[in-house]
A and B are shown apart, each in its own frame.
Chain A
């Protein structure tokens, strides 16, 4: 049974502070959507509202055709995986996994069989009789995953499940989570502050800030076409250069940045350009050349990145970070020209 999760105009307050503002999001059946943002952006609050640990001050939460908004947490039928695992310390691995089945009134042989089958799937069957204290972090999170999956919930939610694991294990676990989620086709909501994790695991990612969703898109779109300066900065556009159009000629516009630097930009390549706009460029999106058309710059510190050299450049429009080719290392103090590459840059509306 796969159903969709619909959150409509959800609001939440802590005391008089509004922490969630009219948040709407819908997760399609079988889809994995991540809520991504820095701490305090409201992502965990959203998850706790859906879980029923917090009460919203407005809006609705629906799972399939069930309205969850006022249901108590234990009646919502949602599988939850916590950051700190939250295993029952007094129960064995097997009893931890069987806990939810017990609440559903399954007879002991039944629940043992299903819990063991689930432990088999996460590769922990040999540890069934251990207590959680005798497990490593990765094993604990696998038990937590098994415990959430074994009740076959229509919705799975993850609250920063990999934050307490080391880097290597984090990558293995996120592949494992994705495989299990795909295999079961369970609709999932995933909360994280780690962009790489969100992008690698999700069908779609919602970037949040100050209790709002700024953009909800596939990782590809978010990475290449952020819709606002905030999202652009969040997904790693190092340079946001405010510009003004000074002249329009057919498809080409001439725009000017602070300090008088002028650029000719083709609307065929960059898309329609308004009079006031922000040119967002990744460091990789600015070609560093000795001469040509572009932003005149004086090169500063050079850093070796392995695939390129990165320069901190002084320009009339402010400091700009750009990556130059390994074949041609330039020294600090050298004069160069930075040329925006349309496929690695985008045009943003400063209003957004």
Chain B
């Protein structure tokens, strides 16, 4: 069945895609430019800026920190988020409404304000080391994703299955591990990916929590750009894009992208 599309609507769609993709094309172009400054269209063709990233100790170090913070932060957020989502759904009737709103606060509060509040409370207030502050800060920042996404798959979970397991002799915690978790697996993986990507890309919270000697990759990119305006930045960005595309490809291959948008 052929669908007639209004020419204006078609033109509008092309414009939207153009504005979405054009910056990415410019970045990829700039990354391979054989000049010492960012320029587009590229002049010459080289991969030396990619090589440059791996030669710069700061990029390598902050990339590792970013990965560590993202992994630990996401793990921590799921450790809190999964039981929270479970309780919010299981006892939906008994629990007060505002409780579920509480868990989305970190995305409702402007990130800058949230970052500053974290600096005042955990870095200065509690005097936690920089790395720990980063992990805790990121965990709190991405907690809403864990609670919401895991919660979405729990919303369609039939809790009578849990009762069936109990009646068959399975104690509560074991029931959760063997009956509940396997059935919300997709939600947990989706939450992990969303939280992980959010953490890896975060600037506004990290900018408050990074300290002497410890920084994350996005912060390092900003710092680098203040000093040098060379294509290294563009090539780092291209690498980050490739990582994101890679993660998405894995999601698509294993679970199908549709469940991220469900």
Same complex for A and B? Answer: yes
In the bound complex, what is the Cα–Cα distance between A51 and B182 (angstroms)? Answer: 24
Whether B166 pairs with A88 at a CB distance below 8 angstroms is: no
Whether B167 pairs with A76 at a CB distance below 8 angstroms is: yes
**What distance in Å separates the Cβ of A76 from its nearest Cβ neighbour in chain B?**
7
Chain B residues with Cβ below 8 Å from A84 are 158, 160
Chain B residues with Cβ below 8 Å from A74 are 166-172, 175
Whether A103 pairs with B167 at a CB distance below 8 angstroms is: no
Near B by CB (< 8 A), chain A positions 63-105 give: 72-80, 82, 84, 86-90, 99-100, 103-104
> With A84-B158, A86-B160, A89-B161 known to touch, is A79 a contact of B167 (CB < 8 Å)?
yes
Quick check: is B183 within 8 A (CB to CB) of the other chain? yes
Chain B residues with Cβ below 8 Å from A148 are 167
Quick check: is A43 within 8 A (CB to CB) of the other chain? no
Whether B165 pairs with A99 at a CB distance below 8 angstroms is: yes
Instruction: Tell me the interface secondary structure of chain B in the complex.
Output: helix
**What distance in Å separates the Cβ of B131 from its nearest Cβ neighbour in chain A?**
38
In the bound complex, what is the Cα–Cα distance between A89 and B180 (angstroms)? Answer: 10
Q: Please give me the residue from chain B that is nearest to A78 by CB atom.
A: B167
Q: Which of B161, B165, B169, B179 contacts A104 (CB 8 A)?
A: B169
In the bound complex, what is the Cα–Cα distance between A316 and B172 (angstroms)? Answer: 63
In the bound complex, what is the Cα–Cα distance between A25 and B158 (angstroms)? Answer: 31
Whether A80 pairs with B163 at a CB distance below 8 angstroms is: yes
> With A74-B172, A82-B160 known to touch, is A88 a contact of B165 (CB < 8 Å)?
yes
Quick check: is A140 within 8 A (CB to CB) of the other chain? no
In the bound complex, what is the Cα–Cα distance between A73 and B171 (angstroms)? Answer: 8
Q: Which of B161, B166, B169, B182 contacts A87 (CB 8 A)?
A: B161
**What distance in Å separates the Cβ of A248 from its nearest Cβ neighbour in chain B?**
58
In the bound complex, what is the Cα–Cα distance between A57 and B261 (angstroms)? Answer: 45
Q: Which of B158, B161, B168, B182 contacts A103 (CB 8 A)?
A: B168
**What distance in Å separates the Cβ of A191 from its nearest Cβ neighbour in chain B?**
14
Chain A residues with Cβ below 8 Å from B172 are 72, 74
Quick check: is A151 within 8 A (CB to CB) of the other chain? yes
Near A by CB (< 8 A), chain B positions 140-161 give: 158, 160-161
Which of B161, B167, B172, B179 has the most chain A CB atoms closer than 10 A to its own CB?
A: B167
Quick check: is A53 within 8 A (CB to CB) of the other chain? yes
Chain B residues with Cβ below 8 Å from A86 are 158, 160-161, 163-164
Q: How large is the interface on A (under 10, 10 to 19, 20 to 34, 35 or more residues)?
A: 20 to 34
Chain B residues with Cβ below 8 Å from A52 are 166
Q: Which of B158, B161, B163, B170 contacts A53 (CB 8 A)?
A: B163
Chain A residues with Cβ below 8 Å from B163 are 51, 53, 73, 80, 82, 86
In the bound complex, what is the Cα–Cα distance between A90 and B161 (angstroms)? Answer: 11
Quick check: is A147 within 8 A (CB to CB) of the other chain? yes
B32-60 vs A, Cβ < 8 Å mask (1 yes, 0 no): 00000000000000000000000000000
Chain A residues with Cβ below 8 Å from B175 are 74
**What distance in Å separates the Cβ of A69 from its nearest Cβ neighbour in chain B?**
17
Q: Please give me the residue from chain A that is nearest to B166 by CB atom.
A: A73
In the bound complex, what is the Cα–Cα distance between A89 and B158 (angstroms)? Answer: 10
Near B by CB (< 8 A), chain A positions 100-117 give: 100, 103-104
Q: Which of B158, B161, B169 contacts A151 (CB 8 A)?
A: B169
Q: Please give me the residue from chain B that is nearest to A52 by CB atom.
A: B166
Q: Please give me the residue from chain B that is nearest to A53 by CB atom.
A: B163
In the bound complex, what is the Cα–Cα distance between A290 and B163 (angstroms)? Answer: 61
Q: Please give me the residue from chain A that is nearest to B162 by CB atom.
A: A86
Whether B160 pairs with A89 at a CB distance below 8 angstroms is: no
Chain B residues with Cβ below 8 Å from A78 are 167
In the bound complex, what is the Cα–Cα distance between A197 and B168 (angstroms)? Answer: 26
> With A88-B179, A89-B183, A90-B183 known to touch, is A103 a contact of B160 (CB < 8 Å)?
no
**What distance in Å separates the Cβ of A55 from its nearest Cβ neighbour in chain B?**
14
Whether B169 pairs with A103 at a CB distance below 8 angstroms is: yes
Chain B residues with Cβ below 8 Å from A79 are 167
Chain A residues with Cβ below 8 Å from B170 are 74, 99, 103
In the bound complex, what is the Cα–Cα distance between A86 and B160 (angstroms)? Answer: 6
Name the 10 nearest CB pairs between A and B, nearest first: A100-B168, A103-B169, A86-B164, A80-B167, A73-B166, A86-B160, A90-B182, A74-B166, A86-B161, A74-B171
Other A-B pairs, 5, CB within 8 Å; known A86-B164, A99-B168, A144-B164: A74-B172, A77-B169, A80-B163, A86-B161, A100-B168
Residues of chain B whose beta carbon lies under 8 Å from any beta carbon of chain A: 158, 160-161, 163-172, 175, 179, 182-183
Residues of chain A whose beta carbon lies under 8 Å from any beta carbon of chain B: 51-53, 72-80, 82, 84, 86-90, 99-100, 103-104, 144, 147-148, 151
17 inter-chain pairs at a CB distance below 8 angstroms, sorted by A residue, are A51-B163, A53-B166, A72-B166, A72-B172, A74-B171, A74-B172, A79-B167, A80-B164, A82-B163, A84-B160, A86-B160, A86-B164, A87-B161, A88-B161, A100-B168, A103-B169, A148-B167
